[in-house]
Amino acid sequence: MQSDAPQPTAARSPDRGVFISHGHADAELAEALARLLQHFLGLRPDEITCSSAPELGLRRGADVSDEIRERIEHARVFILLATAGSAGSQWVPHECGLAWAAADGGTLGFFVATPTPADRAWVPAPYAQCVGVTLSRSDDTWQFLQQLRGELGAGGVPPFVTGLLELERRCAALEAEATKAAEHARAAEDRQRLSRAARWKWAACLTVLLAAVALGIQHARHVGQAQDRETALNDMKATLSAQALACEERRSAELAEFSFSGFIQDPLHGLRCARVSVRRPGPNGAPRDISATCGADGVFVIPGADLNADPRERLPVTLFVGEDRYETVVDRSSAPIAIRLTGGGQ
């Protein structure tokens, strides 16, 4: 497996083998990767650095910045675990900068690892051209491990199958979750597209009514007899009233079909939204809350008959996550509707 980053050379003899840079939210995934490398490459605990694992992390009481610099300087391989969690970390950019400088000087091998193909979007721009490893793909992970064995001069293959399977399971679950969320988003977009088509039909109906009114007025002006004119106008009013009633009934039916749906995004904290509530005026004018329970994947649906809201309205939405609640306003004209949790509860 090749990389655009400088590769380690056989002349080095550092104290420690591997440094794994990751965000706090990816602690479990980083630890699984560290265990796999430790067993597969035959590394001692002092030859691998993973801050989320107590026995593989930084020394207690040490200056964090100095300790990170020292460990990167005495490593052969640096692995960036690129995810949404690493993108929001304050330490990962610092670690990558030190490692990139060492790799450019020919003293360190710089590698990029992502749990799924979609996580390539979180690779920082300076390293986007690096050929990385996708951990959810077993063949890609196997080639990466084989390359690292050559980089570090490891011996025979130790019993690593359990660690590899655990890492693959975690990455495959992440990829499946992302795929499912994308499918729900596409379904929501299709529903929005159909609803927009229905609104165009309703607008065309109103245009026909206005044209009919204009023709009726013109016709009435040319009726010679007052009685004939009054009769024609009464007939036209009755026809227009029936058409207007039919259009109103069609509009009410379309609003009932136009459900409010979407999904909750939280790539940084792994929060799960339990319930979504929308505040709407009731029949007597008093406000009332219309709620829907979120699925395990964050998807929610509120039937249009319960909401009774025009598609162009901006809706105040409350999200309930455990004991916390988040307030936001959603523009229903956008599709799909995806709400991102970005802060603490209100």
**pLDDT per residue as tens digits for the range 59-101:** 766 678 888 998 998 899 999 999 999 999 989 999 999 999 9
Q: Say which CATH number the domain at 103 has.
A: 3.40.50.10140
pLDDT lower than 50: segments of the chain: 1-14, 345-346
Is there a domain that residue 252 lies in? yes
The identity of residue 18, as a single letter, is V
- Contact at 8 Å (CB) between 15 and 49? no
- Contact at 8 Å (CB) between 75 and 47? no
> Are 205 and 317 within one domain?
yes
Q: Which of 126, 159, 192 is the last residue of a domain?
A: 159
Q: CA 65 to CA 95: how far, in whole Å?
A: 9
C-alpha separations of 35 from 53, 66, 165, 299 in Å: 10, 25, 12, 34
How many domains is the chain built from? 2
pLDDT of res. 187 = 82
pLDDT of res. 257 = 64
Is there a domain that residue 92 lies in? yes
- Whole-model pTM over 0.85: no
| Collapsed DSSP state (helix, strand, coil) of residue 180 | helix
> Are 328 and 213 within one domain?
yes
pLDDT of res. 1 = 39
pLDDT of res. 5 = 39
pLDDT of res. 195 = 72
Crossing angle for the helix pair 161-221 and 226-257, nearest 10 degrees? Answer: 170
C-alpha separations of 260 from 177, 200, 264, 308, 335 in Å: 22, 19, 13, 10, 11
pLDDT of res. 275 = 85
Cis peptide before 336 (omega within 30 of 0): yes
pLDDT of res. 332 = 66
Q: CA 11 to CA 16: how far, in whole Å?
A: 15
Exposed (0-12), middle (13-18) or buried (19+): which is 18, by Cβ within 10 Å?
buried
> Are 155 and 195 within one domain?
no
Whole-number CA gyration radius for the chain: 31
> Are 57 and 199 within one domain?
no
- Closest CA relative to residue 257, chosen from 211, 303, 222: 303
Q: CA 101 to CA 166: how far, in whole Å?
A: 33
Q: What domain range is 334 assigned to? A: 180-340
pLDDT of res. 269 = 61
Is there a domain that residue 173 lies in? no
pLDDT of res. 221 = 64
Is there a domain that residue 75 lies in? yes
Contacting residues for 216 by C-beta, under 8 A, at least 6 apart? 232, 233, 236, 240
Q: CA 341 to CA 266: how far, in whole Å?
A: 5
pLDDT of res. 81 = 95
pLDDT of res. 142 = 87
